Amino acid sequence: MRLDIVTIFPDYFAPLGLSLVGKAINAGTVDVAVHDLRDWTHDRHRTVDDTPYGGGAGMVMKPEPWGEAFDALEQASPLPMTVVVPTPAGRPFTQELAYGLAGRPRLVFACGRYEGIDQRVIDHCADAYELVEVSLGDYVLNGGEVAALAIIEAVVRLLPGVLGNPESLVEESHSAGHDQLLEYPNYTKPPVWRGREVPEVLLSGHHGRVAQWRSEQALERTRTRRPDLLGDDIRDEKRT
């Protein structure tokens, strides 16, 4: 998979060289290029923003540098582009959307700052490429950079060969975000830590009871933290 990131803060993406994504880059599973939007400006101040038509607070990202950026990226590779615009006004990012993006050959992240990007850039991308506006949730970040990092990590770990143990993907596909339950709590050694004991059932060696306990814990957690993930029937069911 090819990833292009367009931003006025290329340094935000240094962590892509670390951990799992870094390994995927070194293995050649993903090819990442980070681009400074200001490279497509032509004035002395490398201006990327301007005041909003109609008035109001804040600044809007000018269309011209974005247009040149997309033209240049299009020229650089024949792979069809899926443009991902992180914005709190986007569609909610879910595991299902991560799987969808993981199936695309080339993702181009357009990271906006200020009050956003001139709408004509978004409309142009919808016409010329595949466009997905994505939100991480109902809160506001200062720009798309941190959101793009999160989306990239969620997508790259789904690519074939990236996770050490593909079984963990199978388990996840039955868990949160994929219409099931939150994960049960996990424990490791020692059996007592600062007076807190590991639940006895986990030490029992009784696989059937362990599985039963875990599914109860997962259901109870989901009921209290994320009732929206449960159907009305399960949500209202009497606890046993």
Of 59, 141, 163, 198, which lies in the binding site for ligand 6GU, with binding defined by CB under 6 A?
141
Among 21, 30, 108, 147, binds ligand 6GU (CB under 6 A): 147
Backbone angles phi, psi at 215, to 5 degrees: -70, -35
Is there a binding annotation on residue 149?
Answer: no
Specify whether the CB–CB gap between 111 and 143 falls below 8 A: yes
Footprint (CB under 6 A) of ligand 6GU, residues 65-94:
86-88, 90
CB of 129 to ligand 6GU, least distance (A): 18
Residue 166 contacts ligand 6GU per CB under 6 A: no
Q: Is 129 annotated as a binding residue?
A: no
Q: Contact with ligand 6GU (CB under 6 A): which of 48, 136, 162, 176?
A: 136
Q: Name the minimum Å distance from CB 118 to ligand 6GU.
A: 16
Return the residue of 16, 121, 134, 182 that touches ligand 6GU, per CB under 6 A. 134
Which CB atom, from 130 or from 133, has the smaller least distance to ligand 6GU? 133
Residue showing tokens 């929206």: 228
Say if residue 182 carries a ligand binding annotation: no
**139 a known binding residue?**
yes
- DSSP β-ladder status, 82-92 and 60-61: unpaired
97 marked as binding residue: no
The angle, 0 to 180 degrees and rounded to 10, between the axes of the packed helices 63-76 and 119-128 is: 20
Could you give the residue ranges of the DSSP H alpha helices within 117-206?
Answer: 119-128, 145-156, 167-172, 200-203
Task: Give yes or no for a contact between 92 and 137, defined as CB atoms under 8 angstroms apart.
Answer: yes
Which residue do the tokens 């029992």 mark? 204
Ligand-binding site membership of 18 (annotated): no
- Output 86 or 177, the one with its CB closest to ligand 6GU: 86
Whose CA is closest to 179, among 84, 94, 102?
Answer: 94
DSSP 89-134: EEEEP-HHHHHHHHT-SEEEEE---TT-B-HHHHHHHHHHSEEEEE
141 is in an annotated binding site: yes
Q: Which of 143, 152, 177, 219 binds ligand 6GU (CB under 6 A)?
A: 143
Residues engaged in binding ligand 6GU (CB under 6 A): 86-88, 90, 134-137, 139-141, 143-144, 147
- In the annotated binding site for S-adenosyl-L-methionine, the residues are 112, 136-141
